[in-house]
Structure 1
Amino acid sequence: MGEFDLIRRFFTRDQQVARVGIGDDCAIFGAQVGYEHCISTDMLVEGRHFLSDVDPAALGYKALATNLSDLAAMGAQPHSFLLSIGLPQADERWLQAFSAGLFQLAQRHNCPLIGGDTTRSPLVVISITVQGLVPHGAGVLRSGARVGDDIWVSGTLGDAALGLALLQERIRVGDPDERERAISRLHWPEPRVALGMELASIASSMMDLSDGLAGDLLHILRASHRKAAVELAHLPMRAALRGLPRMQALSLATAGGDDYELLFTAEPRASARIEQLAEDHELPLSRIGRILPLAGGELPQIEWLLDGRPTQFEAQGFDHFDD
């Protein structure tokens, strides 16, 4: 099977957002009056971001989910995406499952594939570039956190990290339902697109949790020139994590990565609106801390509290070049 047969059989779908899509040298689509484009790209590399025996349907789904999560963090509406993929071989069964998982999520969010590239590669390498729309000037940035803002997270933390630890047999969990849920959260993350769009008018800053709370919150603090106090006892965790030794559970929840939940700040008077969103979306939205001013000479940092008292707890988010 050649490159163009591969594209035609597994990746060509009807779409209405581009005047010219797959099959020409470029996609062509018009700009919508009153909107700006948000563009983000993510790369997944076999052996670094996913195991070689991962379900290809889950891989296709997750490859797009990680990008849609970036749009959610900006409060953007998905528009379309580009896919570039390197493969050791054109395995038809693998491609069928991969494309099924990919388009399952794309259709749910009305985000069609409009172009990309394919090539032979020693390892599976997937790069997706996603485009979204926000009203002019309305994207939520990392740099907007203000002194006195509350810090919130959606969902629960540490589930994906627990799922990876379970697959690697570093941790055991007795409840089979909790085990399957953690592994599912690793392979099938849910991008909080609708929630992000609704938070766009509430949040002062926002980003998605891809590399762990400890590292990602620091991105907001550095961009906003602030520091934060975070109460570890307020971190939302499922029973499987809470059943682990406390420091182990907290390490997974703060440094594990792959949560793809939303981390955002908002002024305290917005709490009622946020709690209503939690009810509307049937999703926990948890207030975990507060934004603080930097004193003279201080660098952006997180002050970890345990039951209201400062603690020497240390956590570091995922770094692609940290061995």
Structure 2
Amino acid sequence: MPGEFDLIRRFFHYPTSHTDLGVGDDGALLRPRPGMQLVVSTDMLVAGHHFFPQADPFLLGWKAAAVNISDMAAMAAEPRWITLALALPQADDEWVGALARGFRDCCEAYCVDWIGGDTTRGPLNLCATVFGEVPADAAVRRDGARHGDDIWISGWPGMAALGLAHLRGELQLLDGWSESCLDRLHRPIPRVALGMALRGVASAMLDVSDGLLGDLAHILERSQVGAMIEETALPLDALLAACKRTEPAMAALLGGGDDYELLFTVPREKRGQVEALGRHLELPLHRIGRILDKSGLWLQRGDGVVEAIAASGFDHFA
């Protein structure tokens, strides 16, 4: 069985492109670019809670990097450096090698230097910390939404949740859709280009990890506003095509999470900029509602009836 330092040497030591000193010392040496603020975020993935213990290690490595890189996109930052702390029940060469390849591939896809971390024996657990840069005062935070702003969501929210429900045997996806939904679950795509392009455009933003409504509630709380969601504007077509059932499709879209799509608010007068940005990036951007000057979360049904809705989402301690 390989030892800790042999594991590090064989699987976690990669060249860097914009780091003064990476793996191999007591710490990494970074040189932020002039005029930039550092953005730092940490996410943990725990076996049996965030992923199945038998998960494909390559895909798990990709996801461990991707969910952290997505946090940089959510603040309009450029991801630059990342570390990985890893607890392993045992040091299995093949498993660790596949995990490292998945993590490295995601980092390379987004030009992120893997600069270190830690390994130890313990229950299977991955904890990554990502560092990014954003021009001073250009970060998009959660507290900037204002009355009248449009609410937007990127991509295909809800597909990851349908993939998880399919894995759990809770529903059967139609032919051709299970692969797409499982790919969204296992290989999330951080919306880095979109996040950076929304500097100076979006008033508030985050990435959807715990469910659209639950995460929208974080923006509403920090901004001290409310929101109206329009049922007819919700991007349900792909979800309905995948499962042919309205109830699970709506539940996946509004409460599923694990999509890492960007949820953001934009002043109405900048609506055209967002539409042009979606065309430029070839990425669907859906305008699903608006910010209100009163507290609460509301849904306007297709028949015009308005009702209050709960901001439900994933809770790590529920």
With structure 2 as the length reference, what TM-score do the two structures score? Answer: 0.96
Task: Tell which deviates more after alignment, 301-310 or 158-167.
Answer: 301-310
* Matching residue of 1:301: 296
Which of 305, 316, 320 is residue 316 of structure 2 equivalent to? 320
Find the residue that maps to 1:37 and give its secondary structure.
Answer: strand
Per-residue CA shift, 1:68-107, capped at 9, x if unaligned? 1100010101110111000011111111111111111101
Does residue 148 in structure 1 map to residue 148 in structure 2? yes
* Matching residue of 2:58: 57
* Consecutive aligned runs of 4 or more in structure 1 exceeding 4 Å deviation: 312-315
User: How far apart in 1 are the matches of 2:264 and 2:211?
Assistant: 14
* Matching residue of 2:124: 124
User: How far apart in 2 are the matches of 1:100 and 1:117?
Assistant: 17
1:167-178 alignment, distance < 5 Å: 167-175=167-175, 177-178=176-177
* Matching residue of 1:230: 229
* Matching residue of 1:195: 194
Q: Is the 8 A contact 1:158 1:241 kept in 2?
A: no
Q: Is the 8 A contact 1:173 1:240 kept in 2?
A: no
Does residue 14 in structure 1 map to residue 15 in structure 2? yes
Does residue 38 in structure 1 map to residue 33 in structure 2? no
Letter of the aligned partner of 1:63 in structure 2?
A: A
User: How far apart in 1 are the matches of 2:62 and 2:19?
Assistant: 22
User: How far apart in 2 are the matches of 1:280 and 1:125?
Assistant: 38
1:69-148 alignment, distance < 5 Å: 69-121=70-122, 123-148=123-148
Deviation at 1:232, TM superposition (A): 2.2
Deviation at 1:268, TM superposition (A): 1.1
Deviation at 1:238, TM superposition (A): 4.2
How many equivalent pairs are there?
315
Find the residue that maps to 2:87 and give its secondary structure.
Answer: strand
* Matching residue of 1:297: none
Unmatched runs of 5 consecutive residues or more in structure 2: none
User: How far apart in 2 are the matches of 1:258 and 1:104?
Assistant: 20
Q: Is the 8 A contact 2:160 2:259 kept in 1?
A: yes
Q: Cα distance 1:8–1:100, how it changes in 2: closer, same or farther (>3 A)?
A: same
User: How far apart in 1 are the matches of 2:63 and 2:270?
Assistant: 32
Q: Is the 8 A contact 1:86 1:126 kept in 2?
A: yes
* Matching residue of 1:212: 211
Deviation at 1:313, TM superposition (A): 4.9
Letter of the aligned partner of 2:258 in structure 1?
A: D
Find the residue that maps to 1:13 and give its secondary structure.
Answer: coil
User: How far apart in 2 are the matches of 1:18 and 1:313?
Assistant: 47
Q: Is the 8 A contact 1:79 1:133 kept in 2?
A: yes
User: How far apart in 1 are the matches of 2:240 and 2:61?
Assistant: 27
Deviation at 1:203, TM superposition (A): 0.2
With structure 1 as the length reference, what TM-score do the two structures score? Answer: 0.95
User: How far apart in 2 are the matches of 1:265 and 1:292?
Assistant: 12
